[in-house]
Structure 1
């Protein structure tokens, strides 16, 4: 009887592992397809062989410029920013055990946005300064949210409410900066605020790529502890997890990749909010959905950008498309949580 129970448990684990592998492989395959589509599609559709030759460094009239200067940077920006938003959003949602506790809703990306807009419109700084300011403002926003929501005891609900309030305040600050800024700086700032891959340049991307490649593996390695944190403070402590240290490392890594992605592409709406729940629904329980969440985020950004470019007569920034997708889900989630008494 005991051996049958153990075999039943092991079989369930094998099934969950197979599901995780199938889902992750499928998301990776779809991501490869949309990456190829980003390189192939445009005002001119180039033959695959010409695209490959251009990527390998061969100079082909018209093709090399379009691929290496326009399409490749756009694709890489969407790929790494989407992955960063997906992993970062999922980390906050899992760690705080609430789907609303993501960087978009609680104001972290808004803090990064406010700093970036200030640097672009008022200070006219370089891209490097914008990136540094975005990361610093994102971290500062986290600290303020934590301090204002701490009270006598830590409360996730209070943290979300404080975050929403800080987000509203920062949005007002952004509006004021746009109001007093020079007229010629506003189009660039507004285009950036909508969340866009337009104008992505190769020299801007190394900082984003390096940050994701450094901090995302740390989050993945802490995936087991992150899953244990979802059980609650007491359960995690009893299972040997240093909750404070783990939470600090996860927050720092998540804020860094999200803030830098925001500095490069702008605050692409709802990607951090949608990626975790979608990945969790696809993967199920029992295995970490950190990597699937990152893949979902990258797929969302690139697929939405393709839709924004080619599905309508007018081309729309990627943030508008993800906003159209994410807003109904947010309303649905709020209604469902209200019915369950979680709000």
Structure 2
């Protein structure tokens, strides 16, 4: 800035270009767009490898040919009836968990505020296990039990409502509302209680039903088919629509309460709407593949560091979540000597990452 109050030409050149379309305008960040493009390319590559890899190997070029309508009858059967539903379910489940984690962490201003830590996935698991181990639905496969997605959704929603009501109280500004730190602590307690309920349900089930439900509780894609993919895809689509329509509101909620209120945002109403969308995505993802831990926790934080943004980026978090689950499925079936459930692989990686977040938060608090 010069003495006359006119911006220096170098300052103007360093400003980020703006993108305007009608009444919509945003800042164009080339580095962020390139990062998102790389994430999409990585996801597509892992998706193709996940379809091509297995006991019956299919070359990558042949996979594209089969998806385009070519290939032999055996190759079409393997891809369309077995591997494609599993790979698509992995993409949708990971994307839904990453998106749900980005929304909850942005709203509650806490990197630990993910669906699995808050107890949402445990509530969905409780509802699903009630069907699987209580009515014998597991004996005919998860896909054959149409009540599982509805039970998981009901369990996740009821758990979220209970946590929200228990966390309601006086905020630091003296208003009535929900504080992020208080909600996280209550969610951790509710999560522990629901895990006990799940254990009790398993103890009362038959040995066969309990074994099927226990396999599902580890977070497995082994039973994936088109009927497990559909509910999770619907949940992801609805949550993407809500988050896109509320993108400006979500950005405003990342600020403090006073700043958000000055911007004209109805804090409690918008929080409830966005949290409801996140709960729907996480619950239906849990119904499709079981509780896959730490994806909703780690994906937004990884995306935030990749894009170097002050808040959790929604699109990048969705892509990182999908990459995490598809990559974990590929690793469990190819690199590891034993074919492990996806949830075991994500937990092995996500556990140390959670400890890293806790240590980092503790260091910030002591500075």
- Per the TM superposition, whether the score is higher than 0.5 is yes
Task: Give the equivalent residue in structure 2 for 1:71.
Answer: 83
1:193-244 CA distance string (max 9 Å, x none): 1111112011222222223223212213322221211112211110122222
- Which secondary structure state, in structure 2, belongs to the residue aligned with residue 105 of structure 1? helix
Task: Tell me which of 160, 164, 167 is aligned to 1:149.
Answer: 167
Q: Distance in 2 between matches of 1:281 and 1:150?
A: 32
Q: Distance in 1 between matches of 2:188 and 2:225?
A: 33
Task: Tell me which of 312, 316, 324 is aligned to 2:340.
Answer: 316
RMSD over equivalenced CA pairs, Å: 2.1
Query: How far off is 1:178 after superposition?
Result: 1.0
Query: How far off is 1:60 after superposition?
Result: 2.5
Which of 252-261 and 328-337 deviates more?
A: 328-337
Relative to structure 1, the CA distance from residue 329 to residue 48 in structure 2 (aligned partners, 3 Å threshold; closer, same or farther) is closer
Task: Give the equivalent residue in structure 2 for 1:340.
Answer: 364
Task: Give the equivalent residue in structure 1 for 2:152.
Answer: 134
Gaps of 5+ in 2: 20-26, 138-143, 172-177
Which of 110-119 and 328-337 deviates more?
A: 328-337
1:302 aligns with 2:326: yes
Query: How far off is 1:58 after superposition?
Result: 5.3
Task: Tell me which of 15, 19, 22 is aligned to 2:31.
Answer: 19
1:223-272 CA distance string (max 9 Å, x none): 22212111122111101222222212211111111100100011111000
1:94-126 CA distance string (max 9 Å, x none): 110001111111101110011111110002345
1:41-190 equivalent positions in 2, closer than 5 A: 41-57=53-69, 60-125=72-137, 126-153=144-171, 154-190=178-214
1:227 aligns with 2:251: yes
Which of 202-211 and 129-138 deviates more?
A: 202-211
Query: How far off is 1:274 after superposition?
Result: 0.4
Task: Tell me which of 3, 7, 12 is aligned to 2:7.
Answer: 3
1:185-200 equivalent positions in 2, closer than 5 A: 185-200=209-224
Which of 134-143 and 279-288 deviates more?
A: 279-288
Q: Distance in 1 between matches of 2:148 and 2:11?
A: 55
Q: Quick check: 1:220–1:291 contact (8 Å CA) kept in 2?
A: no
Q: How many residues align?
A: 342
Gaps of 5+ in 1: none
Query: How far off is 1:286 after superposition?
Result: 6.4
Q: Distance in 2 between matches of 1:187 and 1:341?
A: 44
- Which secondary structure state, in structure 2, belongs to the residue aligned with residue 151 of structure 1? strand
Q: Distance in 1 between matches of 2:34 and 2:170?
A: 45
Task: Tell me which of 238, 242, 245 is aligned to 2:269.
Answer: 245
- Which secondary structure state, in structure 2, belongs to the residue aligned with residue 122 of structure 1? coil
Which of 167-176 and 178-187 deviates more?
A: 178-187
Q: Distance in 2 between matches of 1:67 and 1:9?
A: 50
Which of 65-74 and 295-304 deviates more?
A: 65-74
Query: How far off is 1:285 after superposition?
Result: 2.2
Task: Give the equivalent residue in structure 1 for 2:283.
Answer: 259
Which of 12-21 and 194-203 deviates more?
A: 12-21
Query: How far off is 1:8 after superposition?
Result: 5.8
Relative to structure 1, the CA distance from residue 186 to residue 72 in structure 2 (aligned partners, 3 Å threshold; closer, same or farther) is same
Relative to structure 1, the CA distance from residue 211 to residue 58 in structure 2 (aligned partners, 3 Å threshold; closer, same or farther) is same
